[in-house]
A and B are shown apart, each in its own frame.
Chain A
Amino acid sequence: MKDLNLFSRVFPILRELVERDIKLRYRRSILGIAWTVLNPLLMMGVMLIVFLNFFRSQVENYPLYLIIGHIMYGFFSSATTIGLNAMVWNSSLIRKVYIPKAVFPISVNLSALVNFVFSAIALLIVMIITGARVYPTILLFPVAIFYLFLFTMGMSFALSALNVFFRDIEQLYRVILMAWMYMTPIFYTVDIVPDWAKWIVRANPLSMYIEYARKVIMLGEVPGVMENLYCLLPGIIMLALGGLIFHKTKDKFVLYL
């Protein structure tokens, strides 16, 4: 099969699957897609009340600081937890018809990306309410999302494949995800982290993506070449690794689902 052929075959499926995810998520909910905007705002409200007294002094616009970290981490955690089950939940399709298997993790990530775009409206609302200064560098925000997307996609490939063979990955991953959240500066700033743990937070790719976004939105700085490389490399490595695991195991999925 030629590449172009494969794309024209895969694209309609991806489109239907992404639409399916979004439709099913909001079916029977009165506010529908508005939840995607409302949810991060409400969550941010809660975190604001809880953490305001602890961290107010370090950051000039703490609500904005919070919501950037929250929606980016939210994208990562929802895309990977759903991605983890991409194969298992679609087992009825995989066992009965031929579909290029990679469409499932990819469609999950694309749906999460669509949701992310809506939740970015919440970010704009916070910027307006807090009267934040708008820097032209905010246009680089999608670059941070692109790096994050590569990483999330790689994670989803790896997790969805492993979960087919070992269903307890799901339980394990929940714990990992929680630890990961605490290793990411969502509501705290890196300088309050004790010295022995700083390197963990700094080496965490999620921290890099979130810091990148905060830099372009809140400080109006253009990240340097090295910073871009530090963001790009983990994404590419994860994608290559996840893709490799997925590719090596995909023919066996149907036997284990």
Chain B
Amino acid sequence: MDGSLEEKPDIVIEADHLSMMFNMSREKVDSLKEYVIRLVKRQLLFKEFWAVKDLSFTIRRGERVGLIGHNGSGKSTTLKMVCGVLKPTKGRVSVRGKVAPLLELGAGFDYNLTARENVFLNGAILGFSRSKMRDRYENIMEFAELKEFEDVALKNFSTGMVARLGFAIATCYDPDILIIDEILSVGDRDFQAKCHERIDELIGRGTTILFVSHSDDKIINICERVIWLDHGNMVADGEARGIIERYENNG
């Protein structure tokens, strides 16, 4: 990893001076009356909050990168920009390849639909046609251990069950990039072990991984490189063990 030879085809994620601003005062205005009042009072443009400030990094094919930092340091905002959920206020992020995002529990599910219907809905959102999903359906249900609940509406599922289903779908088709935000901590020990097995398998195949966790052990287990964020700024970027140590000493 000697960053000197940056062959472009090798780079799968390129974040170029990313900044994300939330306008705190405007966000709460969602009625016409309030809007007019604030317009008159000229309060509309105050209170900017920069969740991520001028962040640049590149990730190459097959790299396993962890994001660390305290709550509110901009980790999740960064992941959301990479996945395209948020559009950066400034800067640009380009991603090459098929992304499997695991951002939040139950993302891309409709809780009124059954598990079976959700597999196809979620698959479509990830960009897989119905016939592709049909081929993998048994596989997904078996991995998630939900075969007997396939016709039950998702709203009746436990958190662990939803997490299992989400993970099973996201990883069923070899993604090029796996983006995980903390959700591996749900589910029981057996399932977590299974997830790690699947992640190891993906790593073996050269999948790029971008991972957020508050557990240093998990980061060290999975990632070789760590980016440390604090209040939206990058503190450090480099070899995992060294940075985690500094991070821990920092409190």
Most chain A CB within 10 A, of B32, B103, B106, B112, is at B32
| Contact status A13-B124, CB under 8 Å | yes
| Contact status B103-A96, CB under 8 Å | yes
Bound-state CA distance A13–B130 (Å) is 10
| Contact status A254-B130, CB under 8 Å | no
List A residues 8-34 near B (Cβ within 8 Å). 8-9, 12-13, 15-17, 20, 23-24
Known: A23-B113, A98-B101. A9 touches B31 (CB 8 A): no
| Contact status A254-B85, CB under 8 Å | yes
| B173 is an interface residue with CB less than 8 A from chain A | no
| A125 is an interface residue with CB less than 8 A from chain B | no
Nearest chain A CB to B133 CB, angstrom units? 9
| A62 is an interface residue with CB less than 8 A from chain B | no
| B117 is an interface residue with CB less than 8 A from chain A | yes
Q: Mark B6-35, 1 if CB is under 8 A from A, else 0.
A: 000000000000000011000100111101
| Contact status A167-B31, CB under 8 Å | yes
**For A13, what are the chain B residues with a Cβ–Cβ distance below 8 Å?**
124-125
| A3 is an interface residue with CB less than 8 A from chain B | no
| B107 is an interface residue with CB less than 8 A from chain A | yes
Bound-state CA distance A17–B108 (Å) is 12
Q: Mark B98-123, 1 if CB is under 8 A from A, else 0.
A: 00010110111010110001001101
| Contact status B103-A97, CB under 8 Å | yes
| B97 is an interface residue with CB less than 8 A from chain A | no
Size category of the binding interface on chain A: 20 to 34
Which of A97, A168, A256 touches B125 (beta carbons < 8 Å)?
A97
| Contact status A166-B31, CB under 8 Å | yes
Size category of the binding interface on chain B: 20 to 34
Which of A96, A166, A167 touches B108 (beta carbons < 8 Å)?
A96
Nearest chain B CB to A170 CB, angstrom units? 11
**For A167, what are the chain B residues with a Cβ–Cβ distance below 8 Å?**
30-31
| B72 is an interface residue with CB less than 8 A from chain A | no
Bound-state CA distance A99–B107 (Å) is 11
**For A247, what are the chain B residues with a Cβ–Cβ distance below 8 Å?**
none
Bound-state CA distance A251–B88 (Å) is 9
| Contact status A12-B83, CB under 8 Å | no
| Contact status A256-B27, CB under 8 Å | yes
**For B238, what are the chain A residues with a Cβ–Cβ distance below 8 Å?**
none
| Contact status B110-A20, CB under 8 Å | yes
| A128 is an interface residue with CB less than 8 A from chain B | no
| A255 is an interface residue with CB less than 8 A from chain B | yes
Which of A20, A24, A96 touches B104 (beta carbons < 8 Å)?
A96
Most chain A CB within 10 A, of B31, B120, B125, B128, is at B125
| Contact status A23-B86, CB under 8 Å | no
Nearest chain B CB to A97 CB, angstrom units? 4
**For B31, what are the chain A residues with a Cβ–Cβ distance below 8 Å?**
166-168
